[in-house]
Amino acid sequence: MTEAAQQITEGLRILANMIVKKFISETKTAQASNNLSLIRKPLEVQGEKLTLSVQEVARLLGVSKNGVYVLVHTGKISSLKFGRRILFPKRKLEEIIERSGL
């Protein structure tokens, strides 16, 4: 692994640890105040998912999972890659659908 890749990996590890600590802190605060509405699921804002999985996008577009991968690799849809996992910003996907008239 190159030095740049190692630095990125270390930065992501530190960021992940910070996120986990923040989540634990908020969870403890919510439990202490008995206000569980402070706890949010990852990638959600007030109950609305911000991202979709490959399988969800395939269902939404009516294509196979392989078809979704082809759309990603050809740059036709925006995606975020976290390790081996690919996620799709819901708003960007909605914009693409609106523009295409689906």
- E strand intervals along 1-102: 44-45, 48-49, 51-52, 80-82, 85-89
More confident residue, 33 or 18: 18
Question: What residue spans define the domains of the chain?
Answer: 1-39, 42-102
Neighbours of 51 (CB within 10 A): 21
Token pair for residue 2? 């190159």
Token pair for residue 100? 């295409």
The per-residue pLDDT for 81 is 87
- E strand intervals along 21-84: 44-45, 48-49, 51-52, 80-82
pLDDT for residue 47 is more than 80: no
CATH of 42-102, one of 1.10.760, 1.10.10, 1.10.20, 3.40.1360: 1.10.10
Token pair for residue 62? 């009516």
Token pair for residue 24? 């634990």
Percent of the chain with pLDDT over 70: 77
Which of the given ranges, 30-39, 65-74, 82-91, has the highest pLDDT on average?
65-74
Give the residue among 22, 40, 38, 96 at the shortest CA–CA distance from 63. 96
